[in-house]
Amino acid sequence: MSFATAYNAHPKLVVVIVIDQFRGDYLERYRDQFGEGGFRLLLDHGANFTDCNYDYANTRTAPGHATLFTGAYSNGHGIAANEWWDPQKKRMVTSVEDDTTKLVGVTDDKAGASPHNLLADALGDELKLATQGRSRVFSLSLKDRAAVLPGGFAADAAYWIEPKSGAWVTSTYYRGDLPKWAQDFNSGNRTAKYWDRDWKNTKGDVLRSTAHHKGKDGSEAGFYEVIGSTPFANEYELEFAKELVVYENLGAGQATDLLAISLSANDILGHQVGPDSPEMAAMALALDRELADFFNFIGHQIGLANMWIALSADHGVSALPDAAGKFRIPAANLGAGKLEAQINGALTAKFSPGYAASYIKFDYPLAWLDQDVFAAAHIKEHDAETAVGEAMKQAGLVRDFFTKSRLAEGKVSATALGKKFLNSYSPEGGWYVMGVPNLYTVGSATGTDHASPYTYDTHVPLAFYGLPFRPGTYRTHAEPIDMATTLASLLGINAPTHAVGRVLTEALAPTRHQENGAAGTESNAERAPR
């Protein structure tokens, strides 16, 4: 490795793959079944950190993606959840919705999305600043939050899908219309080949069908709902990513480009069937083949020796409570709708007997407080949050809780758990209470979820491929915040503004001047299968 930096396009391209809801143990669990060129490109020819855990409690999609690319936790980047209560709008808002923008790529006049809620900049922003805009930054996902947050403020574009049709969209925050290649992709009806198909495992067993059917509301079920929980959705994303690489000429400029791809299908399926189901195993093996195809494509386009790849996930997932219960492990499905009514009933009895009120919105284990309703009962923030936390605890929903006001003052016990909740704090979102869930307890009535501070939710992969990385399995402790810091250091640019991760020096190959002029060891790219 010589003195390669982003300034002179070494590497030409950095690709970051984020797999939504991909637990850290999956790579080892399925390793013997993986083929060549997919996950094993990173496992056999890259640096793989097996003990990578988020050091916070709010293991959700939006915080996870923000954490990976800012190198900070929620107390740095401000994204504490996928959605929260907005005191001004008096409703729940998503982490990226932005009423000052419009969607681009659809005919209706819906509000768009932007990174305006981020309180820190991201890796792509520092890349843009360092190269005076010569670097190009793109991100994509089925989900808007998983596309917008990785791109940071300065992304050339972030792309996600319109859920019903599967058409790719962006926001006026980035551009006024879709580029011609993206318009052509949508008008080419690329979704058609994924409908009315059977998803089969390697043995030929049918796992799911993408046949047209009615959704829960009686209307025709859309792309996200039907195809989103199959490997066809990952294939569709990577198909779009290939077009983006070709038509945006990524890796062909005078500075390093960045492409972030967040693959959503694993999460959509995982919520339904849990981490230990045959479908999740089949999904992992299908994704392995799809990544092998994508890495082969991008290798031919740019050359594996000219690019770096990083792989991680935004969170893990709990075992299905029924599955955990079979081993006498305490576990439960709670049912979020009933929980919200239960807590509001307890608060009504306490503060406004005879006058039912909606004091909270519940996204287990977080409660978002409507401060206007509490104000009408003359209850201040500290007392309101404490009352909500106590109601959650007395109902047996959580084992403990942390209030926003308490976190803002840093008043938590000096324990590992206390630190996780301090790292989860954000000044955004009005009043709130973060519950400490019981083990393997999820808010949904069926299926499973993530949002706990426990290892099944915090443990994710972290692996790198490229010339600077010394191949091997590393069992030293790492965190997702280390990804942006490590990549920034190797690119020769500033780390993102609020980054607190460390440079993973144990996995870096020595530079040539460190080898006293020696030719150096065989590179990752030379070891890689041709």
pLDDT at 518: 36
pLDDT in tens, 276-290: 999 999 999 999 999
pLDDT at 3: 55
pLDDT at 526: 41
Residue-by-residue DSSP string for 203-240: T--EEEE----B-TTSSBP-HHHHTTTSHHHHHHHHHH
How far from 99 is each of 63, 153, 415, CA to CA, in Å?
A: 21, 16, 40
pLDDT at 511: 74
Q: How many Cβ atoms sit within 10 Å of the Cβ of residue 217?
A: 7
Q: Which of 452, 327, 360 is nearest to 398 (CA)?
A: 452
Dist CA 427 CA 407 (whole Å): 10
pLDDT at 525: 44
How far from 140 is each of 137, 237, 242, 246, CA to CA, in Å?
A: 11, 8, 11, 15
Dist CA 223 CA 278 (whole Å): 23
pLDDT at 294: 98
User: Which three-class secondary structure state does DSSP give residue 73?
Assistant: coil
User: Which three-class secondary structure state does DSSP give residue 168?
Assistant: strand
What are the beta bridge partners of residue 97?
113
pLDDT in tens, 194-231: 999 999 998 999 999 999 988 777 888 999 999 999 99
CA angle (158 as vertex; 87, 165 as ends), nearest 5: 90
Strands 13-19 and 257-263: parallel
What contacts 107, CB < 8 A, 6 or more positions away? none
pLDDT at 497: 98
Say if CB 12 and CB 302 are below 8 A apart: yes
Strands 257-263 and 332-333: unpaired
pLDDT in tens, the chain (530 residues): 445 677 877 899 999 999 999 999 999 999 999 999 999 999 999 999 999 999 999 999 999 999 999 999 999 999 999 999 999 999 999 999 999 999 999 988 889 999 999 999 999 999 999 999 999 999 999 999 999 999 999 999 999 999 999 999 999 999 999 999 999 999 999 999 999 999 999 899 999 999 998 877 788 899 999 999 999 999 999 999 999 999 999 999 999 999 999 999 999 999 999 999 999 999 999 999 999 999 999 999 999 999 999 999 999 999 999 999 999 999 999 987 788 999 999 999 999 998 889 999 999 999 999 999 999 999 999 999 999 999 999 999 999 999 999 999 998 999 999 999 999 999 988 999 999 999 999 999 999 999 999 999 999 999 999 999 999 999 999 999 999 999 999 999 999 999 999 999 999 998 765 444 333 334 444 444 43
pLDDT at 512: 60
Strands 47-52 and 462-465: antiparallel
Task: Please tell me the number of Cα atoms within 13 Å of 307 on its side-chain side.
Answer: 27
